């Protein structure tokens, strides 16, 4: 949008990625919209007693929003649910917040990416299902990297061009991809099996060992895109996992923390 030009958008499909207070009863919203990309809008009076917007502008529910803007940020005019209101089970909220934080960090504002919107919507649906949480997140990370132009090379040795062999071992170079490992060669990159590389390429991540190695590949690749900026959701999930064994042990139970969740 040209600086100074007036924009008015009506009933655009969106998700609330984040919100924080603005003055007494207003909020600044970070939205993921289907046709207008990531947008920042001011929602005035959202947290006034009796405001119907309070219940609508919650994370993980698809909404229809209308706003007007003159410049970078807009002012919310209207919001309503796009279908039935939905949320995530408490056990999967941190994974949802992880998705939101990744999108805020990686997506530029005002860059329409319908593929990202559809991927996010489908991933929320998968998190509401009985699908393995770690598998859902790894597939999201892989596809997000592809859409953002940072797709991983997984099926061929990036130096020789030879197809990856499931029975061989490879060094994974975050800036390039897999290079077949020769015994005695150590260059500071972790080793991964060809079977994992091919499984990640095919998004077939049911085996725990494959999923664990895939998580490391994707984390390194995402960290490169984040340019050293940490993710708060990762830190929170790590702290929760560290606390879980102690509480579970005191209660005489086994921790149910998912080691592959929330990208940690």
pLDDT digits (tens, 9 = 90+) for 144-182: 999 999 999 999 999 999 999 999 999 999 889 999 998
Q: Does pLDDT of 1 surpass 90?
A: no
What is the rounded average pLDDT of the residues 1-29?
A: 86
pLDDT band of 3, cuts 50, 70, 90: low
Q: How much is the mean pLDDT over the chain?
A: 87
Q: Quick: pLDDT tens for 172-219.
A: 998 899 999 988 766 656 899 999 999 999 999 999 999 999 999 999
What angle in degrees, to the nearest 10, is found between the helix axes of 93-106 and 232-251?
A: 160
What integer pLDDT is reported at residue 70 of this predicted model?
A: 83
Q: Quick: pLDDT tens for 47-102.
A: 788 788 989 999 999 999 999 988 788 999 999 999 999 999 999 999 999 999 99
Q: Does pLDDT of 259 surpass 50?
A: no
**Which has more confidence, 125 or 188?**
125
> Percent of the chain, pLDDT > 90?
67
pLDDT band of 7, cuts 50, 70, 90: confident
Q: Does pLDDT of 23 surpass 50?
A: yes
Domains of the chain by range and CATH? Answer: 1-87 (2.40.50.140), 169-226 (no CATH)
**Which has more confidence, 237 or 133?**
133
In SS3 terms, the chain reads as CCCCCEEEEEEEEEEEEEEEEECCCEEEEEEEECCCEEEEEEECCCCCCCCCHHHHCCCCCCEEEEEEEECCCEEEEEEEECCCCCCCCHHHHHHHHHHHHHHHHHCCECCCCHHHHHHHHHHHHHHHCCCCHHHHHHHHHHHHHHHCCCCCCCCECCCCCCECCCCCEEEEECCCEEEECCCCCCCCCCEEEHHHHHHHHHCCCCCHHHHHHHHHHHHHHHHHHHCCCCCHHHHHHHHHHHHHHHHHHHHCCCCCCCCCHHHC
CA 177 to chain centre: 22
């Amino acid at each position: 949008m040209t600086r100074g030009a007036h924009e008015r958008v009506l009933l655009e499909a969106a998700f609330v990625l984040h919100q924080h207070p603005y003055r007494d009863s207003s909020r600044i919203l970070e939205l993921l919209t289907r046709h207008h990309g990531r947008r920042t809008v001011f929602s005035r009076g959202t947290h006034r007693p009796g405001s119907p917007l309070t219940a609508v502008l919650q994370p993980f529910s698809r909404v229809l929003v209308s706003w007007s803007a003159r410049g970078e940020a807009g002012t919310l005019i209207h919001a309503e649910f796009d279908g039935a209101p939905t949320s995530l089970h408490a056990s999967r909220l941190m994974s949802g917040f992880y998705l939101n934080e990744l999108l805020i960090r990686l997506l530029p504002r005002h860059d329409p990416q319908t593929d990202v919107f559809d991927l996010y919507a489908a991933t929320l649906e998968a998190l509401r299902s009985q699908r393995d949480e770690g598998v859902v997140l790894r597939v999201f990370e892989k596809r997000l990297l592809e859409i953002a132009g940072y797709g991983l090379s997984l099926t061929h040795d990036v130096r020789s061009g030879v197809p990856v062999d499931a029975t061989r071992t490879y060094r994974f170079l975050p800036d390039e991809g897999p290079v077949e490992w020769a015994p005695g060669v150590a260059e500071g990159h972790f080793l991964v099996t060809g079977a994992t590389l091919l499984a990640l390429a095919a998004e077939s991540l049911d085996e725990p060992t494959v999923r664990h190695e895939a998580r490391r590949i994707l984390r390194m690749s995402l960290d490169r895109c984040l340019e050293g900026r940490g993710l708060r959701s990762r830190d929170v999930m790590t702290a929760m996992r560290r606390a879980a064994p102690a509480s579970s042990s005191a209660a005489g139970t086994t921790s149910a923390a998912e080691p592959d969740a929330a990208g940690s």
